Structure formats: C-alpha cells, structure tokens
Amino acid sequence: MEAVTVKQVVVIAGPSGSGKNVVINEILKRYPNCARLVTATTRAMRPGEQEGVDYYFMSQEQFDEQLSAGNILEHRFVPALNTYYGTYLPDLAKRMSEGKIVFAQVDIEGARLLKSRYGATTIFIMPESLEQFRARLHVRNPEWSEIEFKARMKVTEQELHEHAPQYDYRIVNADGKLEDTLREVVEIMQKEGYNLST
C-alpha cells in the first residue's frame, strides 16, 4: 500500500504586480492553518519590517554560510538590486512540522524544487492582458523611468511566455475580480487534496 502524503506546500507565482501577494494574504486571513514561507535575503531591513516575519535578513557572509550548510534550498540573485533571495529550509521545516499549509512565493526554479521535493502544487497568477498589466504597473509605480519600466515588462513577457506554461495551473487575476481568483485557488487546493478545514 502506498503511503499517503499530506499535501502541505503551495507555490503561488506570477509577475510583479500580478496580485499574488494579495491572493496569499487573503487566504492566510481566511484559513488559520495556512502560513507564508519566509525567505532569506541579503538586502537591508526596511522600516516597519521584522526579522522572521518579512524575511530572514542576512549579511552576504551569513547567506553563504547557510547555503553551504544546506539550509538554503535554492536561491537567485537580482542584479538590479545586488541582492540574493533564497528558500530557507529551517522556516519551511518549522511550518510544516506545525501542520501548516505553506505558501511559497518563488520563481520557476524554486517551484520545480518544491514540487519535486515536497509535492507542491504550483499556481501561476496571470494578468488579464499585457495592456491591462502595463497600465496597472504604471499606476502602481509612477516613479519608474521608461528604461526601468521596459525592463520590467520584458521580464514579465518572459515569465508569461516561458515560465507560466510550466506551472500546474494558471489563473487570470482580472482587475476587480479578486474573489473569483481566490475561489479558483481554493478549489484547486481542495481538488489537490489540501486540508483547509483544520
């Protein structure tokens, strides 16, 4: 007889501005047995942020040590910010041991790793259209220069064309339709065997 694996990890991904944070936050509010994976970063803490809540803030040396120790499962470097981000195993292990369903906000490499190692269901949040998304980004980030804006759009287009098809599910998060998006995420989780009722 096969061992029953309890599904505990969900990946929610999508381009910056797709609404993935809002989706995760709303689900955490509604389902007490869900938690967010807190990742490690080498960037400085900003005002109002908390260690172990927003990120695990590390120096480059600490980050490298944790990487060598096998505590950072996968990581990425963001050249524009000169910053590393990584999936922090101690945080994931702690939340899983508490019986939580853990929401991880990672890129395609992180999604692949969490799927292969923990049987994660991977969900990509899509904008309604590139035109609508472009308008949303302009409203959200009026301070961006045209060069930065074009660079962000290029990344978004790459994510939509190359990465999105590799996720288990793709959900369109249209403006003003958050409840529909949330319902779809919850339905997927129920179908995949996550226990949201505990």
Per domain, the residue ranges of the chain are: 9-33+101-189, 37-99
The whole model's pTM is what?
A: 0.87
- Looking at residue 148, its pLDDT comes to 79
The pLDDT tens digits for 102-119 are 999 988 889 999 999 999
Contact 134, 67 (CB under 8 A): no
- Looking at residue 154, its pLDDT comes to 84
**Tokens coding 167:** 């996720």
How is domain 37-99 classified at the CATH fold level?
Answer: Guanylate Kinase phosphate binding domain (3.30.63)
- Architecture of the domain whose range is 9-33+101-189: 3-Layer(aba) Sandwich (3.40)
The pLDDT tens digits for 164-189 are 999 999 999 988 899 999 999 999 99
Place 4 in a pLDDT band, splitting at 50, 70 and 90: very low
The pLDDT tens digits for 47-98 are 999 999 999 999 999 999 999 999 999 999 988 778 999 999 999 999 999 9
170 Cβ neighbours under 8 A, 6+ residues apart: 123, 124, 126, 164
